[in-house]
């Protein structure tokens, strides 16, 4: 049985066993790439004991921005292949960013006798992540409209301002 997935134009199909092998392979390959990118950035910018893990914070902020921007564009342009959206979204960006690293670092800072730094890091992660996602959403709207993805879609007109 092959039926188009909701929210798309049928570029990916769900079978009786779930998503097709192309989608699963794309997510796995994207996950490998995102994990390696995070690891390399961690080597280039190692965390210092007792300090806010700036590399992890930066990774999560950038990832939040990019994921929000791309998702907004994909909403306006649903013909983007589902396997590609899956590879980039949950694959690359899902493994590049991770809330578990925030929780782990907050715990380590607290256990090291620095609960104030841990709470500051947690607060910065949440607030800056949300701000980055909002900025990414707005950027995605502008880019989507400037590339002609607007029209009668979810953004209303082609100026990116929506209905």
Which parts are annotated binding residues for Na(+)? 94, 97
In what helix (H) or strand (E) does residue 29 lie, and over which residues does it extend?
helix 21-44
Distances (CA, A) of 36 to 29, 43, 92, 93, 113: 11, 11, 9, 11, 31
Residues of each annotated binding site = 94, 97
Tell me, what DSSP letter sits at residue 24? H
Interatomic CA distance for residues 123 and 139, integer angstroms: 24
Per the CB < 8 A criterion, the answer to whether 61 and 129 are in contact is yes
């Amino acid at each position: 049985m092959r039926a188009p997935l909701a929210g798309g134009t049928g570029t990916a199909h769900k079978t009786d066993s779930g998503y097709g092998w192309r989608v699963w392979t794309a997510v796995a390959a994207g996950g490998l790439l995102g994990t390696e990118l995070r690891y390399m950035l961690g080597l280039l910018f190692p965390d210092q004991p007792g300090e806010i893990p700036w590399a992890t914070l930066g990774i999560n902020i950038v990832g939040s921005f990019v994921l929000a921007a791309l998702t907004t564009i994909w909403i306006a342009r649903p013909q983007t292949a589902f396997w590609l959206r899956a590879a980039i979204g949950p694959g690359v960006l899902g493994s590049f960013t991770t809330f578990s690293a925030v929780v782990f670092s907050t715990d380590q800072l607290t256990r090291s006798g620095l609960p104030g730094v841990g709470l500051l890091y947690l607060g910065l992660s949440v607030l800056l992540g949300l701000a980055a996602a909002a900025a990414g959403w707005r950027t995605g709207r502008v880019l989507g409209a400037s590339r002609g993805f607007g029209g009668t879609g979810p953004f209303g007109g082609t100026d990116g301002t929506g209905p």
